[in-house]
Amino acid sequence: MQYRNLGADLTVSAVGLGCMGMSHAYGAPADKKEMTELLAKAVDMGYTFFDTAEVYGTPESPHDNEELVGAALKPYRDKIVLATKFGIHFDMTSPAVNKPLLPDSRPEVIRASVEASLMRLGTDHIDLYYQHRLDPKIPIEEVAGVMADLIREGKITLWGMSEATEDAIRRAHAVCPVTAVQNRYSMMARWYENLFPVLEELNIGYVAFSPLANGFLSGKYDKTSQFEAVTDYRSVMPQFQPENIDRNQALLELLNSLSREKKATPAQISLAWMLCKKPYIVPIPGTRKYSRLIENAGAADIMLSAEEVGAIDTALDGMEMSQVFGGTQVVNK
């Protein structure tokens, strides 16, 4: 496993592990014993960066993922970087499969969240604590002030922001330095590349979630792929709809061509593209399978030159592709 730095003070594995899908959004939760074993194998392979959130779970077990991750990684706590998030809950009154998000970053809510996450994770500190979504009702300076207090108290070590904008990043960073921004990023979702200059200016890392476009860029899905209608968000994601598979053929053909050239898989090429683009990008693909864990880690060993990365970008710029899932709707009530 390769390693790289996020911000000034955080060294992590070049590929992290997004743990959400073990409990949330990709069908019924996986078997806890199997996931506990998988997480242990990840540590053995050199993964040190593990990502969860207080809201990753099910209606019956709303905090399932933090509980799973905390228990599974407790024996390795001094070897790993544990990241979790605060600041949203789901609108459970919605009939949608992918229920809207309600932001809430009131200081008292953050305080309650951090204490509950510490308990579920079975730890005395959180290494990287993200605001899960911006809250338009609470000035970001106020949120950053709470983060500074939590750092002084030793409850968190560093903090970050998810799906953040340049203005919010700059304002937050001026109050309490931001270590990482966790935003969506993949070959199908490049709209946050305009943040790269400010991240470089302020020395902030970029943690890329959904780096494989929710698995689509693995090349493992086609028109016959089926997803559970109620519990699997992919059932309503545009890139997986049968009518869009054909629209994405040029993208898949590009990945397959590069895979043959580099003796890699489409998923590895997708990850290597961003790893080789910027030294401060760390993707956090999720999986429930040991084979994928190995495959994703191997992406860090694939070298693409700046010219090769630029050629891929140019190809993507001129390529027809379907819409891609852009994230759960955020609503304010």
Q: Is the dihedral of CA 283, 191, 217, 53 positive or negative?
A: positive
Q: How many CB atoms lie within 10 A of CB 332?
A: 11
Decide if 316 contacts 190 (C-beta within 8 A).
yes
Amino acid at 219: G
CA 156 to chain centre: 19
Buried b (16+ CB within 10 A) or exposed e, 266-289: bbbbbbbbbbbbbebbbbbbbbbe
Decide if 23 contacts 48 (C-beta within 8 A).
no
Decide if 114 contacts 150 (C-beta within 8 A).
yes
> Rounded CA gap, 128 and 25, in Å?
23
Q: How many CB atoms lie within 10 A of CB 157?
A: 17
Catalytic center residues: 56
